[in-house]
Structure 1
Amino acid sequence: MSLLTNVMDHSLDDGYAEAAARKRSEGTGGLPKTVRAKLGLAAGLVLAAVVVTVGAAQARVAAPAVAKEREELIDRIQRETTAADKLEATVDTLRDDVGARQREALKKDGGADRADLVGILAGAVAVHGPGVKLVVDDAKEATTGGNGNPRETTGFADTGRVRDRDMQRVVNGLWESGAEAVSINGQRLTALSAIRAAGDAILVDNRPLVPPYTVLAVGDGDQLGATFKDSADGLYLDALRENYGIRTSLSTEDDLRLPAAPSVIVRTAQPSTEKGTS
């Protein structure tokens, strides 16, 4: 009986009992590490699946609203574009009417030819005639965000892209070489025109242009082209081509057609009201 009682009271060997007690005290008892790791991984996967499912559900719920807003924005842009086109057509009609009335009135004083010349030089009327066609385009390998640019004088990185200051020099060089009228990508330039930058885009009178930039200049084609090539601005364009890969082509044209400027408004000058002044 004493043997049976000892077995019942001490079912585990003393060594096993001590090892179990030591594991419990060290916090290593319970499930094995591999099992705990698998359970943790499973719990993480379940949580990630829940997050993805909830996000997808929210995206599906929000998609119709986003699509509707996008369609409304597109419709609004189209309406405003149509309205702007109508206004430009009206402006063109009124400009033609005003020009006709001016010429009719000046005929009586013999000043019609002078009025036409002033309109051409001011960009107020469409013109056509011989001249040069200059195409300026970005380099083939043009990118954004380049580093270490020797041209970087106003915050732009050298990416082989044509900049607003480049087009400013080109246009000024053509004027100085004898151009009588100039346009860039169909935008007629006047004494009030501005060539500026907005990010990487070039703006002409606040209208964005995209490369290639086609510059049309009316004048004595052969003389105009030769003078521009030899000018400081023509040499500057050659340097851009040789050093940065900017692509250019200059050709003489027999008949170029340039539109009138969208608006020619003198904002500061006022007619004199004093008698005997000019």
Structure 2
Amino acid sequence: MIRKQYSAALTATCVILGVIIGVQFNTVKQQRTTTENQRLSEATAALNQLQAEHDALLKQNEALEKTLKDYQEGNFGEEMEQLLTFAGLTEVSGTGVTVTMNDSSTKGSGDMNAYLVHAEDLLAVVNELYAAGAKAVSINGQRMVGNSAVNCAGSIVMVNGVRVAAPFEIKAVGDAAVLDSALHFPGGVIDNLAPWGIEITVRKETTVIVPAYTQTALFKEKEGEE
């Protein structure tokens, strides 16, 4: 009798263990399936994002290739010409003024350097011309650009690293009447230099030619210094 009870209890225990193991197996299987599905969803989302980024890069590349092709075919010739003009790399002609500056012919008292045309005097005229709308300016044939340097080395004036001497001829392309008025404005640059006897003449002209900037070595030198 006891053996039968033991056998029944053992059988019941085995059945219960079997049920528990079965439930755990199904639970683990479901968790594994859920984890695999989650990983698959994440991988799919990442793949979709990469595909979208790839498509965007392809479109950007196509746009850049089209832009390059347009430039090569000259479809942006006008824009390119404007950029070259702005950079001072092309000759500019049109109406404008020619300004001639020379040292004073009178000999006053005190420091004689005060009666000479200096770099700051040239820059004052150039700045006034640009402020009045000049499209291009040159000093003794040297085109003024963004990184142009005008300085003095003793009595010598250097423009773009090139030695220039009086008389200084400044050419500017623009509205001749406006440029002339700007220089003759009361209290302006001509009035400020008058007490020192600096000789300045301004001629309005229908055709003024300002040459292109040619000192390319100056760009390289400045880049090397940086």
TM-score w.r.t. the length of structure 1 is 0.50
Query: Are positions 1:247 and 2:199 aligned together?
Result: yes
Query: Are positions 1:116 and 2:68 aligned together?
Result: no
Query: Are positions 1:161 and 2:116 aligned together?
Result: yes
Q: After superposition, give the CA deviation of every residue in 1:150-179 in whole Å (9 maximum; x if it has no partner).
A: xxxxxxx54411111111111111111100
CA displacement at 1:218 relative to structure 2: 0.4
In structure 2, relative to structure 1, the CA distance for the partners of 1:209 and 1:263 (3 Å cut) is: closer
Q: Which runs of 4+ in 1 moved over 6 A?
A: none
Q: After superposition, give the CA deviation of every residue in 1:120-179 in whole Å (9 maximum; x if it has no partner).
A: 121101111110111111011359xx63x5xxxxxxx54411111111111111111100
In structure 2, relative to structure 1, the CA distance for the partners of 1:166 and 1:107 (3 Å cut) is: same
Instruction: Write the distance in 2 (CA, Å) between the matches of 1:126 and 1:231.
Output: 32
Q: Could you say which structure has the greater relative contact order, defined with CA pairs below 8 angstroms and 6 or more residues apart?
A: 2
For structure 2, the residue ranges without an aligned partner over 5 or more in a row are 1-68
Q: Which residue of the other structure, out of 130, 135, 152, is the alignment partner of 1:180?
A: 135
Q: State the partner residue of 1:196.
A: 151
Q: State the partner residue of 1:171.
A: 126
Give me the identity figure in percent: 27
- Partner amino acid, structure 2, of 1:173: E
Query: Are positions 1:220 and 2:172 aligned together?
Result: no
Query: Are positions 1:133 and 2:86 aligned together?
Result: no
Write out aligned runs for 1:135-154 (5 A): 135-141=100-106, 147=110
CA displacement at 1:220 relative to structure 2: 1.3
CA displacement at 1:256 relative to structure 2: 1.0
Q: State the partner residue of 1:208.
A: 163
Instruction: Write the distance in 2 (CA, Å) between the matches of 1:134 and 1:109.
Output: 37
Q: After superposition, give the CA deviation of every residue in 1:68-108 in whole Å (9 maximum; x if it has no partner).
A: xxxxxxxxxxxxxxxxxxxxxxxxxxxxxxxxxxxx96263
Give me the CA root mean square deviation.
Answer: 2.4
The answer to whether the Cα contact below 8 Å between 2:119 and 2:152 also exists between their aligned partners in 1 is yes
The answer to whether the Cα contact below 8 Å between 1:124 and 1:263 also exists between their aligned partners in 2 is no
Instruction: Write the distance in 2 (CA, Å) between the matches of 1:136 and 1:110.
Output: 43
CA displacement at 1:238 relative to structure 2: 1.8
- Partner amino acid, structure 1, of 2:131: E
State the structure with more CA Rg: 2
For structure 1, the residue ranges without an aligned partner over 5 or more in a row are 1-103, 150-156, 269-278
- Partner amino acid, structure 1, of 2:171: L
